[in-house]
Amino acid sequence: MPKHHRSNALFRIRFHGRGGQGVKTASRILGQAFFLAGYEVQDAPRYGAERRGATIFAYVRASHDSIYERGIIRRPDLVVVADETLVEIPAAGVLQGVTKTTVVLIHSKLTAEDWIKRYTPLEKVVILHPVKTRRQELHLDSAACAGAAACLAGVITRDHLQRAIEEEFVGQKGSLVQANLTQALDAYNQMALDSGLVIAGSGDQGTTPASPDWIDLPFEAADISAPTIHAALTSTQVTTGLWRTLRPVVDENICRRCGLCSSYCPEGVISLDDQGIPVIDYVHCKGCLVCVVECPAHAIHAHPEPVPEGEQT
Amino acid sequence: MTRTLLTGNGAAAWGMRLARADYLPAFPITPQTEIIETVASWINRNEIECRMTTLESEHSMLTAAGAAAATGVRVFSATSSQGLLYGMEMLYTVAGWRAPLVLVNVSRGLAAPITLEPDHNDILAARDCGALQIHCATCQEVLDSILLAYRLAEDWRVRLPVIVNLDGFYLSFTREPVQIPEAAAVNRFLPPFDSGNLCFRASAPTSQAVAVLGGGPYSYFRYQAYLAAMNALGVFEEIGQEFRKQFGRSYDLLDTYHCDDADILFVMLGSFATKAREAVDHLRASGQAVGLVRPRLLRPFPKMALQRVLAGKQGVAVIDQNLSPGGGFLYTELATALYDQSTAKPLLVNFIGGLGGRDISREEFFEIAAETRRAVTAGTAPLPRLLFTAAELREVRKLQAIAGSRREPPRREP
Ligand code: SF4
Ligand code: SF4
């Protein structure tokens, strides 16, 4: 594989996933691997309120020179998508700054052609086939994504990757380290044909610096400009049920109809029917499992969410 | 000496560890909590000797910190944003006690509305409390600045609390390679705290809750604290040189980049200044004589050093990551610093950017340089400019639509 890296060029890599998938861990494994390969590195996660299932992204910069850029990567050389459902959510910003030179690595059952057909800016798509993990092992996605990205970058050896994982999981159980190593190295091998596909600094080439479209922000009266929410029930519009990885299910035979779960639910999504039996609104239940813990009769059980259509492995 | 990847928070914890702080009063707040968690895990594993106490608020935390420092032990604590404001009363008090301690603030914009992301209105609210302030731009600087801060705080010419500031997210959660100095070298640079007459023994009672009436004594004590703060300028330069001899890294009052031959300068605080530095490289590559100045010490304000570096420049773009009536804090402070010179002054142009962690793009730095040049040509500075785009306003409009803000405004009688 030919390598075209300018020695002082800056790798800009962005990871997208959901809380619980270990996107931060993935960025750290990759960052550490670059560091062990002799690079200056910057890695960081970006999230709002921390919670499972929420969209998060993380970034890694690596260069042989000191790195002065900070924060959001606007022109990535590589975008790693751990959860393919994020591509269609504009707020997740997966496609932001993606051009036909950007390599996009998607953890997906679909083919690269499918993705290229669906989204115009996509051209250099690489598929990372979902590894057979159980739902509870979602976090292993991170190791696979990091391993694949490491290979695509073309400057990280298997040995760097292995040492990076050992470094990042210092103090953890041996079996966990081993599971992550296996995932990462498998994914690394899967990418062998595309090793070096990512060109450092390529995302930043050929962009003419447009002037920012600054505006003079006009005065608006406090009726409008105070950060007040006037609309009632705005939270119903947010389908927080999508965050859930485990679903609380009430066993009516055990339930004593005390109603405690309804009071404890932080989302207020448990109502009681005329018999006093709790009914959970699964469109909005976020899967925090507070109800499971609080139910004195242990009548609420957590079940893994069914894997969405077409994702069956 | 090990070079390893650390977050800004991790670097802060390492600074505390190498400084061998004896006491850590703590209260959690995002994005600072990781500092306390890291130190707590070291204490738990008996890796360091330190007494940690969790308090019920930042107000109590700073009371405990000041009280402990007043007994002559080395004290470390950390907070952020609303927490700093909640402890504000005690910041003034502890500075008045002349109790030397180091407090890390992880900058985060103030409510309302609530944000988790950084700007400097929190730390700048503490600008007159009597504590000194060091502002950091990299994770390495966070670690090093804590060592410098103890030297500064404990110096007999100063003896005041020192706040070390780092930006939330951009440093707190960002990993960079950091040299962790050898403990022995740190011990040479920062020997055990020689607390002088700061002590607490049954045989030697002291009291800090002194009341003075009539104004004269009050003026004396507060002005002494002020004079001590002003001494910190010279002391910082001195210990900065010692630091360089010991560890090889330079810490001057100002971090300057390509200033000598520049006609336009950017002036900024904190980690966003590294973005400006990157922009300076690009501007230089296109033939523009632009440079960057970043004050490390903000309290006391390095007025003379700034006067020197700004002398003879045509235009200065002051980029404030804070909002204050009449322009950003740095802008007004810099204008004051230049005003008492009779020589020609550079034109100051003020930009407000990075509020609540808003990014400042490379293109925006280019435009800032261009706008400053236009102002120089016109001979007059425009009003402070908020960095805010049409696209951002469209985003706000969407939020307002969801929040139902666009209802009929209530009728007002004329
Ligand atoms: S807390 Fe448990 S027992 Fe009580 S109503 Fe809810 S499910 Fe039934
Ligand atoms: S898991 Fe239970 S407590 Fe949590 S949101 Fe769902 S119903 Fe409410």
Instruction: Give the pair of three-digit tokens for residue B76.
Output: 């470390």
- The chain A residues in contact with chain B (CB within 8 A) are 28, 31-32, 35, 40-46, 48-49, 67-72, 74, 209-215, 217, 221, 223-224, 227-231, 234, 237
Mean pLDDT of chain B: 95
Whether residue B176 is contained in a domain is answered as: yes
- Cα A60 to Cα A25, A280, A307, B13, B176, distances in angstroms: 11, 40, 30, 23, 10
Q: For position B260, which CATH number holds?
A: 3.40.50.920
B386 interaction partners in chain A (CB closer than 8 Å) = 217
Whether residue B52 is contained in a domain is answered as: yes
Q: To which H or E segment does residue B273 belong?
A: helix B272-285
A218 interaction partners in chain B (CB closer than 8 Å) = none
Asked whether residue B17 carries a pLDDT value surpassing 50, the answer given is yes
pLDDT band at B206 (very low <50, low <70, confident <90, very high): confident
B136 and B201 housed in the same domain: yes
In B287-381 the beta strands, taken as DSSP E runs, fall at 290-295, 297-299, 315-320, 347-352
Whether residue B344 is contained in a domain is answered as: yes
Query: A74 and B278: CB-CB below 8 Å?
Result: no
Whether residue B403 is contained in a domain is answered as: no
**ipTM associated with this complex:** 0.93
Chain B contact probe: residue of A214, A228, A238 with most B CBs at under 10 A: A214
Closest B-chain CA to A32: B5
B273 and B321 housed in the same domain: yes
Domain end position, chosen among B215, B232, B247: B247
B57 and B136 housed in the same domain: yes
B236 and B360 housed in the same domain: no
Contacts 24+ apart (CB under 8 A), A292-296: A292/A248, A294/A260, A294/A261, A294/A264, A295/A255, A295/A260, A295/A261, A296/A256, A296/A258, A296/A260
Query: A229 and B403: CB-CB below 8 Å?
Result: yes
pTM of the model: 0.90
B135 and B162 housed in the same domain: yes
Domain end position, chosen among B184, B215, B247: B247
Whether residue B410 is contained in a domain is answered as: no
Average pLDDT over residues B359-387: 96
Q: For position B95, which CATH number holds?
A: 3.40.50.970
Closest A-chain CA to B283: A209
Whether residue B407 is contained in a domain is answered as: no
Probe ligand 2: pick from A261, A267, A301, max atoms within 8 Å of CB? Answer: A267
Judge contact between B131 and B158, C-beta under 8 A.
Answer: no
Judge contact between A226 and B395, C-beta under 8 A.
Answer: no
Whether residue B222 is contained in a domain is answered as: yes
B198 and B225 housed in the same domain: yes
pLDDT tens, chain A, 313 aa long: 334 444 569 999 999 998 778 899 999 999 999 999 999 999 999 876 655 567 889 999 999 999 999 998 999 999 999 988 889 888 888 999 999 899 999 999 899 999 999 998 899 999 998 766 555 566 678 899 999 999 999 999 999 999 999 999 998 888 999 999 999 999 999 999 999 999 998 878 655 668 899 999 999 999 899 999 887 777 777 788 877 878 999 999 999 999 999 999 998 999 999 999 999 999 999 889 999 999 999 999 999 876 544 433 3
Whether residue B30 is contained in a domain is answered as: yes
B237 and B258 housed in the same domain: no
Q: Which of A53, A52, A69 is nearest to A61 (CA)?
A: A69
Total tally of structural domains belonging to chain B: 2
Q: In 3-state terms, chain B is what percent helix, strand and coil (to 5)? A: 45, 20, 40
Q: Please report the sign of the dihedral spanned by the C-alpha atoms of residue A96, residue A102, residue A103, residue A109.
A: positive
Q: How far apart are the first and last CA of chain A?
A: 32
B93 and B229 housed in the same domain: yes
B56 and B195 housed in the same domain: yes
Domain containing residue B258: 254-395
